[in-house]
Structures are given as structure tokens and as C-alpha cells.
């Protein structure tokens, strides 16, 4: 398995084999803490080989710099199937996050686990907005 895309963005959708991502970012500027970020989306595209067909478990964790979960981990499962003539297949996952509560500035991380293995980590920097 290979992770082709792992991004946090303003919005994402997946329809008919197309992963649409709008406004990918890695930094959120905040005027005061705690802050409520109204909406964002995590977009993932993974590619699997034919020998990796079958059911897979997925977990996405969002943690602060101390390793404390900011949100409850999102978990689910998906299945990979492909025709005999095809040697790879992709799977798209979109996780919409509403009302993200950011308590303090710092480096946060999104952790992507597939079948219990942490396969990718994505930083999110939360910073004090410059004062005018």
C-alpha cells in the first residue's frame, strides 16, 4: 500500500473515483485561544496492489504536541477489490471535521493508521495571528 495523498483542506469530496480537494493547508492563524475552527476536511488517497485485496481497518487521530487526542479517533473499514486485469486499485477517504476546538498554539498532528500500523503523519501548525 502506498499513500498518494494525505492532506488537510477547507473541503474535500470523493465521487466516481475522483478525489476533489479545495484549499489544502498546514497552518491555521488564530487571533485568540481557545478558538473554534468551523470546518475542515482530511483527504486520503491510497493505492493497493492486487495481493492487498480485502478488508482493511482505518483510524485517523488528531493530536496535540503532547500526544493528547484533540478529537476522538475516527475509525472505519473499507474493502479493496479489483478486476483480474488490473494490478492496482485506489481508495479515497474523506473525513469532514466540524467545530475543531483549538485550545492553544503549537504543532498538532494527524496520524493515519491502516490495519493498526501508523503509516503517515501530517503536521498542522496553529499560530497566533499577527496583531494589526
Strand ranges in 16-105 using DSSP code E only, listed in sequence order: 18-25, 27-30, 35-49, 54-63, 74-80, 88-102
Examine residue 119 and state whether it is found in any structural domain, yes or no.
Answer: no
Examine residue 40 and state whether it is found in any structural domain, yes or no.
Answer: yes
Range of the domain at 94: 2-55+72-105
For the whole model, what pTM was predicted? 0.91
pLDDT in tens, 29-87: 999 999 999 999 999 999 999 999 999 999 999 999 999 999 999 999 999 998 888 99
Examine residue 130 and state whether it is found in any structural domain, yes or no.
Answer: no
Examine residue 94 and state whether it is found in any structural domain, yes or no.
Answer: yes
Number of domains within the chain? 1
Collapsing DSSP to helix, strand or coil, 27 comes out as strand
Examine residue 124 and state whether it is found in any structural domain, yes or no.
Answer: no
Collapsing DSSP to helix, strand or coil, 131 comes out as coil
Examine residue 11 and state whether it is found in any structural domain, yes or no.
Answer: yes
pLDDT in tens, 85-104: 899 999 999 999 999 999 99
Amino acid at each position: 500500500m502506498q499513500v498518494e495523498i494525505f492532506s488537510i483542506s477547507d473541503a474535500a469530496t470523493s465521487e466516481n473515483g475522483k478525489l476533489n480537494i479545495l484549499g489544502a493547508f498546514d497552518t491555521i492563524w488564530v487571533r485568540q485561544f481557545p478558538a473554534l475552527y468551523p470546518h475542515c476536511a482530511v483527504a486520503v488517497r491510497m493505492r493497493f496492489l492486487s495481493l492487498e485485496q480485502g478488508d482493511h481497518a482505518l483510524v485517523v487521530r488528531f493530536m496535540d504536541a503532547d500526544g493528547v487526542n484533540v478529537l476522538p479517533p475516527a475509525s472505519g473499514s473499507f474493502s479493496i477489490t479489483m478486476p483480474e486485469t488490473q494490478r492496482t486499485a485506489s481508495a479515497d477517504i474523506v473525513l469532514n471535521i466540524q467545530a475543531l476546538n483549538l485550545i492553544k498554539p503549537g504543532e498538532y498532528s494527524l496520524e493515519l493508521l491502516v490495519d493498526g500500523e501508523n503509516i503517515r503523519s501530517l503536521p498542522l501548525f496553529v499560530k497566533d495571528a499577527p496583531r494589526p
